[in-house]
Amino acid sequence: MSMRIFDGFKFTKLPTPVHQMDPRAKFILVMSIFAVCLMFSNLLVLLIALLAQIPIIGLAKSLKRWSISMKGGTLLAILIFVMNFLTGSTLIYSLAMTVKFLALISCFSIFFMTTSPDDLGLALENIGIPFTLVFTFTTAVRLVPTMAVDAQTVIDAQRSRGLELEKGNFVKRIRNYIPILIPLIVSAIRRSIELAEALESRAFGASEKRESLVALKMKLSDYLTTIVAIAFLTLSVYVYLYIRLPSPEVTYRLPPIWPWSYA
């Protein structure tokens, strides 16, 4: 599992319908899928939940990055499968849990890949979170790629002075990160001070009430998406409560090898 898994959560600006969706509608859509994933343990339903997201991701032109983050998550997915199977769950159930995991991170992936921190901030403001908190959040998100670039520069600068990060025993390797961490922290502090100066100079906090230039407005498509998502969610709840779903008959499970597993 590498850093590539984070690529699946990074926002990139693209002119797709998914990107242009009102963040509140998007959130409701994603939460509906999330709720369905949480509710069900049935492999078929979960597979559908996972596969149904693919056309959405395709529409958002983000399939490549999504697949990279899926690949990055395979280690964890395998771990989940193994943990379930080894503790006595059936093969099918373990598979279902793995699919549930992948479906869950997928839906968060969709949300963060297609929603800019600014829009996210506006949505949060909309539901009443104070501006200063929202701003702290969006700035932090916005600074992540900037700091990643800084980190790479620091690593490059120190490697250029002969620092070898891949060599040495475990203790030495940890010690080798000090020349990376300290400049990075100092750099981050300097950056924060500069940001604070600029904020003060632009009258941050001068007025209690605050209207923003751009207001979130739900379009017809946003309302439709919200209605569909809620309808879908309601249907799922109904199915969960009242309908018995078909399940593959395979009930293979490991023989009881742990003291707490059951016959």
Partner 1 sequence: MIEVENLCFTYPNGKDVLFNVDLKVQDGEFVAIMGENGAGKTTLVRHFNGLLKPTTGRILVDGNDTRKSSVASLARSVGLVFQNPDHQLFCETVKDEVAFSLKNFGYPEETVERRVRGILETLDLMSYIDSSPFMLSGGERKRVALASVLVWNPKHVVLDEPTIGQDYQQKDRLRNFILQLNTQGKTVIVVTHDVEFIAECKPRVIVLSTGRIVGDGPAVDILTDEQLVNKASLVRPQIAKLMSSLSDVGLPTNVIDLFTARSVLASKLERI
Partner 2 sequence: MPIIDMRNLTFTYTGAGKPSILGVDILVEPGEFVVLTGPSGCGKTTVCRCLNGLVPNFYSGEMTGNVKVTDLDVRKTSTMELAKYVGFVFQNPENQLFSLSAERDVAFGPENLGLPRDEIRRRVDWALQATGISNLRNMAPYELSGGQQQRAAIAAVLAMKPTLMVLDEPTSFLDPKSAQEILDVISRLNRELKITIFLVEHRLDAVSRYADRVIVMDKGRVVLDGKPFDVYGEQAWLIGVGVPKVTMLFRLLRKDGISLDSIPITVEDATKELRRKLTS
Q: Which does 169 bind (CB under 5 to 8 A by kind): partner 1, partner 2, none?
A: none
Does residue 8 bind partner 2 (CB under 8 A)? no
Q: Which residues bind partner 1 (CB under 8 A)?
A: 150, 153-154, 156-164, 178-179, 182-183, 186-187, 190
Closer residue to partner 1, CB minimum distance, 15 or 162? 162
Does residue 164 bind partner 2 (CB under 8 A)? no
Q: Which does 118 bind (CB under 5 to 8 A by kind): partner 1, partner 2, none?
A: partner 2
Alpha carbons 213 and 178: distance in angstroms, whole number: 44
Q: C-beta of 200: minimal distance to partner 2 in Å?
A: 4
Sign of CA dihedral 145, 146, 149, 151: negative
Closer residue to partner 1, CB minimum distance, 129 or 178? 178
Q: C-beta of 112: minimal distance to partner 2 in Å?
A: 14
Does residue 194 bind partner 2 (CB under 8 A)? yes
Binding mask 86-125 for partner 2 (x = CB under 8 A): ------------------------------xxx-------
Closer residue to partner 1, CB minimum distance, 79 or 182? 182
Q: C-beta of 168: minimal distance to partner 1 in Å?
A: 11
Does residue 150 bind partner 2 (CB under 8 A)? no
Q: Which does 17 bind (CB under 5 to 8 A by kind): partner 2, partner 1, none?
A: none
Alpha carbons 16 and 114: distance in angstroms, whole number: 9
Closer residue to partner 1, CB minimum distance, 94 or 109? 109
CA 163 to chain CA centroid, nearest Å:
34
Closer residue to partner 1, CB minimum distance, 118 or 150? 150
Does residue 245 bind partner 2 (CB under 8 A)? no
Q: C-beta of 167: minimal distance to partner 1 in Å?
A: 9
* Subset of residues 32 to 51 that bind partner 2, contact rule: CB under 8 A: none
| C-alpha to C-alpha distances, 108 to 105, 113, 132, 150, 159, nearest whole angstrom | 5, 8, 25, 27, 36
> Residue 147: which of 115, 101, 179, 181 has the closest Cα?
181
Closer residue to partner 2, CB minimum distance, 164 or 200? 200
In the complex, the residues that contact partner 2 under the rule CB under 8 A are 13, 116-118, 135, 139, 142, 146, 191, 194-215
